[in-house]
A and B are shown apart, each in its own frame.
Chain A
Amino acid sequence: MWRWLHPYAKGEATYRLLGHWLPWLAISAALSLLVGIVWGLAFAPPDYQQGDSYRIIYIHVPAAIFSMGAYTGMAITALIALVWQIRTAEWAIAAIAPVGAVLTAVSLFTGAVWGKPMWGTWWEWDARLTSQLILLFLYLGVLALYYAFDDKRTGAKAAGILALVGVVNVPIIHYSVYWWNTLHQGATITKFEKPSMATSMLIPLLICLLGFALFTAAMICWRLRHEILRQELHRPWVQQELIGQEKLN
């Protein structure tokens, strides 16, 4: 049943597959981000309470959701790497972590800039904000561990264990607004009910969500391709890929 997956344990096969996906992901990410952000900034109606400041939602919420989504994905690849010892899965940890870290930083930054006019403070040590800050530190820790060892596999293993242990933080972030009395508001769309948002505001948000998802996927593909090249730099197929056939002979 899983036999079709086996060739992708080899770096070159995965590299080629990602190469097929990358242009489509990149183009659709750029298009949906452009449409979603322009729609959200210029065409969506202002909020009756927050005026035009609420427009930060169009980047804040997607960045926050996919900072957690990327972490969950990284934890799953870490599990695969640790259990089945598949090297491409190890490399995926290093490909996902920087993308997730940037998304987390963006969510924290846009949150602070949104918090200042609405809450009167850039930062508050409330449960949602603090747990999201811990997510950033987890990403940075995973990255630091990955590159901290002379033996690359040891580094990948250490990073994988931290990524797995740290996944406990993801549900904590999500439920923090229910479990504790936070300054941060509750969920608007990630719940099992009708979203508490007008359709005219919701549609551009959904497009932005799609755009961030595609952007995240594209960046991970791109970075994983580079990580595969880096790890197999001394193999003939990589030399052919990087330098080109004509210069080799």
Chain B
Amino acid sequence: MAFSSFQEFIVMGGYGFFVWLAFGGTFLGLGLLVLRSVVARRHLEKACADHMRRQERLARRQKQERSR
């Protein structure tokens, strides 16, 4: 352990602001990347369901027209 107390760990020998800003910014960046991928999957599921519903509607209409 390079620090003798938690207080010292946060202060980082006077460079606390810069060290924590750098690490915070990094986690924000990487975290947003992960979050976007989580959301992307949900968007894909919705797009796929929409497409299938449209296809079904189209097929039903074609059947109706043929029977008329």
Contacts and interface: CB of A to CB of B under 8 A. Distances in A.
Nearest to B3: A42
Given A44-B2, A109-B29, A226-B41, A242 B22 contact: no
B24 to A, nearest CB: 9
B51 A59 contact: no
Nearest to A111: B22
B13 A59 contact: no
B30 A106 contact: yes
Given A219-B33, A242-B44, A243-B48, A110 B22 contact: yes
Nearest to A247: B49
A117 B15 contact: yes
A59 B23 contact: yes
Contacts of A63: 26
Interface residues on B, range: 20 to 34
Interface residues of A, number: 39
Interface stretch (A11-19, A70-78, A150-158, A231-239): A231-239
B18 A43 contact: no
Nearest to A215: B30
A60 B37 contact: no
Interface of B: 1-3, 9, 12-15, 18-19, 21-23, 25-26, 29-30, 32-34, 36-37, 40-41, 44-45, 47-49, 51-52
B33 A42 contact: no
Given A41-B23, A116-B18, A238-B48, A55 B34 contact: no
A52 B25 contact: no
B30 A52 contact: no
Interface in A94-110: 98-99, 102, 105-106, 109-110
Given A46-B13, A117-B15, A99 B33 contact: yes
Contacts of B21: 113
A59 B3 CA distance: 20
Contact of B29 (A51, A56, A102, A239): A102
Contacts of B12: 51-53, 55
